[in-house]
A = this chain, B = another copy of it.
Amino acid sequence: MEKLTLGEEGELPVRIAAAIRDAIVEGRLISDQRLPSEQELAEQFGVSRPTVREALKRLAAQSLIRTQRGATGGAFVNRLSYDDAASQLITTSTLLLSMNAVDFETACEARYALERACVPFAAARRKADHVVAMRAEIRRQALPDLTDESFCASDVAFHRALVDAAGNPVLSYQLAGAVEAMQPLMNMITFTARSRERIVALHTAIADAIDAGDATAADTVLAELAAYTSALAEDVRRARSARAAGMTG
């Protein structure tokens, strides 16, 4: 590996991590390539081993590298998989939503807008197994003794299958993050108010439309589902403010 140069400002581990990250992004370090040992890196950068370790750990936290112990061990450039990227996106989005008091309306709007963006592709390219997966989840959702948690999980799986049907991994990755991150917020309203029959009916209509390759119909139903979810949220909000008023007045 050629020599890396450090930036000017900031703390040492940050600068070292940035130098290595740049090397990866710019292709000077390629997937599965082994980095020099911590000792060698320490000498190259003129710092101590713990400092190098902190830098490597920062990169490991972002899944940019993986470390392996033992004789042939070391730090290796990670080939970032869609799954790794998606799980990071989910973590980030979940935190973003929970820490910024994003109102349900905004998150919900974003989620369905993104999902509707997938529908034309899903209708055009759906494979049999995507439709099978969607219908399987619908059957699960129709089971009368399903717990709320399981229903919600199945809901996520249904939408995941819909998005995957679009056959665009970049879209899937972005959507998976949005859908999963919204799950806690969704649960807050859906546990209390939602009609499973209504949801199942809408899901069935979506699956039918996708199966038939009818993007327009699928989009219409999805819009209806978005409106229904939004209305539910409104109900919950009204109920809450009424209860709050009752408690203070």
A residues whose Cβ falls under 8 Å from a Cβ of B: 13, 17, 21, 24-25, 27, 31, 50, 53-54, 57-62, 64, 79-82, 85, 88-89, 91-100, 102, 106-107, 109-110, 113-114, 116-118, 120-121, 168-171, 173-174, 177-178
Contacts and interface: CB of A to CB of B under 8 A. Distances in A.
Contacts of A81: 100
A25 B98 contact: yes
A88 B95 contact: no
Contact of A85 (B85, B93, B113, B116): B93
A85 B89 CA distance: 9
Nearest to A171: B110
A49 to B, nearest CB: 10
**In the complex, which of the residues A64, A91, A95, A169 has the most CB atoms of chain B within 10 Å of its own CB atom?**
A95
A171 B17 CA distance: 30
13 contacts: A54-B57, A58-B61, A80-B95, A80-B100, A85-B95, A88-B92, A89-B92, A96-B170, A96-B173, A97-B170, A102-B170, A110-B171, A116-B117
Nearest to A107: B170
A92 B80 contact: yes
A174 B178 contact: yes
Contacts of A118: 113
A177 B57 CA distance: 24
Contacts of A27: 98
> 8 closest A-B pairs (Cβ-Cβ)?
A110-B170, A117-B117, A58-B61, A113-B117, A61-B61, A110-B171, A85-B96, A80-B95
Given A85-B92, A116-B117, A174-B178, A168 B106 contact: yes
A47 to B, nearest CB: 14
A4 B134 CA distance: 39
A121 B99 contact: no
A54 B102 CA distance: 31
A66 B96 CA distance: 16
Contacts of A96: 80, 82, 85, 170, 173
A76 to B, nearest CB: 13
Nearest to A108: B170
A118 B109 CA distance: 10
